[in-house]
């Protein structure tokens, strides 16, 4: 039993470490590529389209050529009414989020991302998938106050970059809620590979119009350098992040994931100030962000508490580890789809805007499954 516990803990920490490294790495890499002070490729839509094209191509190979998983039953009606609008907001969130790198620092962007639970809750209430609650509202207010304080303390505050980032956050929040409302009602579950297969190409098409209007003229006039290995490795890191999140969600619990997310944010803020010296953090920045994180942690606690309250019984630790060990022996590091070609959902929530294609791991979705994987 001790060996099983140790093995489970070691695997958990390895997967969490991989997730933190890849998530932080992708964000810092994107900033380095886009920043005029470094690689100087100030074309965020083009970079996003490269990511989408590469992800869609890899997913096509995995599904159609190597047949790692089977495609889901996708009708034209489901694609037009579900995949298309979700892809539109997904493309928008990536477009606005990547554009923010041109105007504000990575550290300040991470502080603004604390608004994600606020945006998701607002959109869920507007769309009728959640109800207003005093306890949640007080946490959202605390988060908002913290972000305002952090913004006030930002030395290099830029209105344009802030607007881009906040708009991207709300676009991503709306995408999360739409995924619940549209895909879940259709009974459609997308694993990481099928998500890439259906959503990435559609997002690529949506990005083509703003690219043609905003960035194509710039590419024709300016001397833009294009290094194949830089963009290939950048897209590969973004793709690997999608799959690392899948591993984290499948092997850990909701509390662990949320704690890892908070830890990643702090690490990323510290690293960004070292890698990008122009990023200056003030005491007011840290104070505001700490206040916002308190609200986020309390919100996460409420969410996990609600999920556990909905569970009739809970397995003891030995039983839980024994189940995980048996499942581990049957599984491999590859994706093992069930008879329908879909990977069983684990409803843990990870909101990583760099890898939002894992559409079945959303806020308010899979609550019954979430409680089966406590941290």
The pLDDT tens digits for 27-64 are 999 999 999 899 999 999 999 999 999 999 999 999 99
Residue 271 placed within a domain: no
Confidence class of residue 353 from pLDDT cuts 50, 70 and 90? low
Query: How would residue 190 be classed by pLDDT, with cut points 50, 70 and 90?
Result: confident
Q: Is residue 366 part of a domain?
A: no
In a domain, 300, yes or no: no
> Considering the chain, what is the average pLDDT of its residues?
81
Q: Which band of pLDDT confidence, cut at 50, 70 and 90, is reported for residue 222?
A: confident
In a domain, 22, yes or no: no
> Tens digits of per-residue pLDDT, 235-293?
999 999 888 877 777 677 666 777 788 888 889 999 999 999 888 889 999 999 999 99
* Model confidence pLDDT, tens digit, residues 293-346: 999 888 888 888 887 787 665 444 445 445 544 444 444 333 333 333 333 333
| Residue 188, domain extent | 44-104+158-224
pLDDT band, very low/low/confident/very high, at 354 (cuts 50, 70, 90)? low
Q: Is residue 343 part of a domain?
A: no
Q: Is 132 within a domain?
A: no
Given this model, what pLDDT does residue 339 score? Answer: 36
The per-residue pLDDT for 363 is: 33
- Flag whether 92 is in a domain: yes
Q: Structural domain tally of the chain? A: 1
Q: Which two tokens stand for residue 24?
A: 């932080």
Q: What is the pLDDT of residue 172?
A: 94
* pLDDT, tens only, 73-95: 888 999 999 999 999 999 999 99
Percentage of the chain with pLDDT > 90?
Answer: 50
Total length of the chain: 375
95 found inside a domain: yes
């Amino acid at each position: 039993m001790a060996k099983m516990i140790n093995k489970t803990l070691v695997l958990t920490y390895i997967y969490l470490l991989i997730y933190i490294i890849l998530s932080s790495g992708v964000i810092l890499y994107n900033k380095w590529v886009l920043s005029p002070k470094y690689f100087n490729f100030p074309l965020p839509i083009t970079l996003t389209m490269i990511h989408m094209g590469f992800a869609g191509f890899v997913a096509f190979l995995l599904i159609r050529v190597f047949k790692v998983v089977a495609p889901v039953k996708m009708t034209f009606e489901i694609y037009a009414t579900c995949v298309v609008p979700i892809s539109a907001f997904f493309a928008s969130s990536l477009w606005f989020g990547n554009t923010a790198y041109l105007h504000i620092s990575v550290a300040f962007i991470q502080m603004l991302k604390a608004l994600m639970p606020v945006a998701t809750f607002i959109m869920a209430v507007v769309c009728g998938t959640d109800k207003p609650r005093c306890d949640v509202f007080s946490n959202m207010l605390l988060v908002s106050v913290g972000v305002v304080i952090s913004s006030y303390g930002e030395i290099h505050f830029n209105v344009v970059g802030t607007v881009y980032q906040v708009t991207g956050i709300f676009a991503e929040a709306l995408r999360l809620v739409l995924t619940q409302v549209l895909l879940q009602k259709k009974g459609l579950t997308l694993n990481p590979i099928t998500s890439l297969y259906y959503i990435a190409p559609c997002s690529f098409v949506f990005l083509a119009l703003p690219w043609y209007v905003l960035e194509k003229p710039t590419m024709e006039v300016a001397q833009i350098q294009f290094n194949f290995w830089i963009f290939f490795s950048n897209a590969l890191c973004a793709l690997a992040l999608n799959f690392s999140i899948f591993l984290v969600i499948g092997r850990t619990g909701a509390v662990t994931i949320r704690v890892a997310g908070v830890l990643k944010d702090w690490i990323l803020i510290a690293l960004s100030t070292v890698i990008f010296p122009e990023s200056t953090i003030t005491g007011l920045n840290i104070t505001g962000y700490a206040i916002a994180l308190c609200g986020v942690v309390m919100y996460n606690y409420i969410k996990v508490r609600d999920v556990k309250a909905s569970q009739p019984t809970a397995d003891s630790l030995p039983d839980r580890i024994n189940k995980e060990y048996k499942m581990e022996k049957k599984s491999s590091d590859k994706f093992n789809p069930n008879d329908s070609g879909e990977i069983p959902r684990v409803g843990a929530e990870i909101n990583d805007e760099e890898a939002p294609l894992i559409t079945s791991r959303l806020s308010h979705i899979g609550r019954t499954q979430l409680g089966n994987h406590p941290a």
